[in-house]
Amino acid sequence: MNSSLNAARRRWELDEARADVVDVLVVGLGATGAGAALDAASRGLSVAAVDAHDLAFGTSRWSSKLIHGGLRYLASGQVGVAWESAVERDALLRFTAPHLVAAHPYLLPLTRAVPRAQATTLMAGYRLGDALRAAAGTPRRLLPGPSRLAAERALALAPSLRADGLRGALLSWDGRVVDDARLVVALARTAAAHGARILTRCRALALAGDGARVRDELTGDEFDIRARAVINATGVWAGELTPSVALRPSRGTHLVLRPGALGALRAGLHVPIPGERARFALVLPQADGRVYAGLTDEPLDGPIPDVPEAPESDVAFLLEVIGTALDRPLSRADVAGAFAGLRPLVDTADTVDAPDSAGGRTADLSRRHAVLRSPEGVVTVVGGKLTTYRRMAEDAVDAACPRACGSRTARLPLVGAGPVRPGTPGRLARRYGSEAWAVRELMRGDPALAEPVALGITRAELVWAVRHEGALDAGDLLDRRTRIGLVPEDRAAALAAAEAALAYP
């Protein structure tokens, strides 16, 4: 089957889902759910995967975009989690998504806030992380090793750093995905190419071991999808469908800084958080000129919102922390937008590594994932992080379908992972990989589609998303197939182009 997702395919696959009994029903189409759909479908199982909203609507689009080797987990003694992260990072860099994931440099400025003894300890940690890289098989040409830079070189890479008192910087490298939502789209489309039915705007109302009651959110129709196994991959919302699952949601906020707010930033920054032993704020320059800065780790109490808001207290905290390393403090006017995501951290004694997890901070909870089976037979996968989505998906399918053949996804290329044609513009190649030429063909066929909408994104990319990436409305186009919507004024300016793309013949 082809990998294209669109409104027409959704309609006929909804009809099929009403009539058939599938081997696996996956609920939730973030990274883990889309990964589970691909894992099961690539094993030859019949699959239906549903989401109440859109691909990557929840936590998966609000990440720091890091595909990391788990250095932080080494520092807290979680060697298994760190190793798993390094192995999964290697798979993404080398085999499954080399068009979306690449190495990126990060500086940890050696200011007065970083004593010499701490700098020595941090460099030792970086070298341990590099040993994990080597053990996982990632070649140094894809992920260079750490080094120490003189102050002059550090300032060349990050001119906005405060020169006074700067002793230099520690340079490290880690993986980063160009866009977390695009990774989810690639997963879902690859699953579709293997026969999975990818059904967005299809809300699961109740789960059982043999299927689910669902509602088509576009028509209001309710019906049953019958399945031999059911996987709940709804992340932070998992407990709403499987009450036996106990989670402690944590909110992570990022700022979107205006282009130029930090000058010509050529590397990311790790800025120590005052009073914390091994926590850092992240500063992440983007290809479109924006800069993301994060990230908080605060417990969320009460109802879980579909789209969490970034409180002003988080904004002020991040501006203050990042400003400690800068020559010019950031102001609220430098912030073009903000976003927050919710981590589905597991709060059960047998799956949490932190000794004080029952009453401690969410920052201290383990990022290890858990696969749980409810009394009704529903398999739920929770915890973890973006980097390890593939292993989480594999473990969930193993638990739900113990008689199936083994997973095949560790080296299964995602849509777009093939060779890129010579002459392809770099920005398109980084977002579409081997499909970039097809996006360019749309522009050649209709030159009006080459018109930029925002951030260099063209009308052709919006049309491509409607025809092939399952975009059904303007929100899908502006908030997930692209990230124009992260800045409200950019979103407003691009709304007409999104509506035109939905109506394009």
Residue 182 burial (CB count, 10 A): 26
Nearest 5°: CA angle at 274, between 269 and 280?
30
Give whole-number Cα distances, 360 to 51, 298, 366, 423, in Å: 32, 11, 11, 53
| Residue 99 near residue 186, CB atoms below 8 Å | no
What's the alpha-carbon Rg for the chain, to the nearest Å? 22
Q: Which two tokens stand for residue 453?
A: 């909408």
Residue 134: count of CB within 10 angstroms of its CB: 13
Q: What share of the chain is helix, strand, coil (3-state, %, to 5)?
A: 40, 25, 40
Q: Residue 4 burial by CB count (10 A; 0-12/13-18/19+): exposed, middle or buried?
A: middle
- The DSSP line for 221-256 is -EEEEEEEEEEE--GGGHHHH-TT--EEEEEEEEEE
Closest CA to 490 of 182, 259, 179: 259
H-helix or E-strand spanning residue 182: helix 180-193
CA angle 486, 487, 491 (to 5 degrees): 90
The 10s digit of each residue's pLDDT in 106-146 is: 999 999 999 999 999 999 999 999 999 999 999 999 999 99
Provide the CB-side half-sphere exposure for 40 (13 A, CA): 36
* CA-CA-CA-CA dihedral for 349, 352, 355, 357, to nearest 10: -80
Residue 13 has, within 13 A of its CA and on its CB side, a CA count of 24
Locate 327 and state its tokens.
């020559």
Q: State pTM to two decimals.
A: 0.95
Q: Please tell me the distance from the alpha carbon of residue 337 to that of residue 342, in angstroms, as a whole number.
A: 17
Per-residue pLDDT of 139-192, as tens digits, reads 999 999 999 999 999 999 999 999 999 999 999 999 999 999 999 999 999 999
Q: What are phi and psi of 162, to 5 degrees?
A: -75, 120
pLDDT in tens, the chain (505 residues): 899 999 999 999 999 999 999 999 999 999 999 999 999 999 999 999 999 999 999 999 999 999 998 887 877 778 888 999 999 999 999 999 999 999 999 999 999 999 999 999 999 999 999 999 999 999 999 999 999 999 999 999 999 999 999 999 999 999 999 999 999 999 999 999 999 999 999 999 999 999 999 999 999 999 999 999 999 999 999 999 999 999 989 999 999 999 999 999 999 999 999 888 778 999 999 988 999 999 888 888 889 999 999 999 999 999 999 999 999 999 999 999 999 999 888 875 443 333 333 344 544 445 689 999 999 999 999 999 999 999 999 999 999 999 999 999 999 999 999 999 999 999 999 999 999 999 999 999 999 999 999 999 999 999 999 999 999 999 999 999 999 999 999 999 999 999 999 999 9
Q: 279, 174 in Cβ contact below 8 A? A: no
According to DSSP, the residues that pair with 226 across neighbouring strands are: 21, 211
CA distance 146 to 494: 41
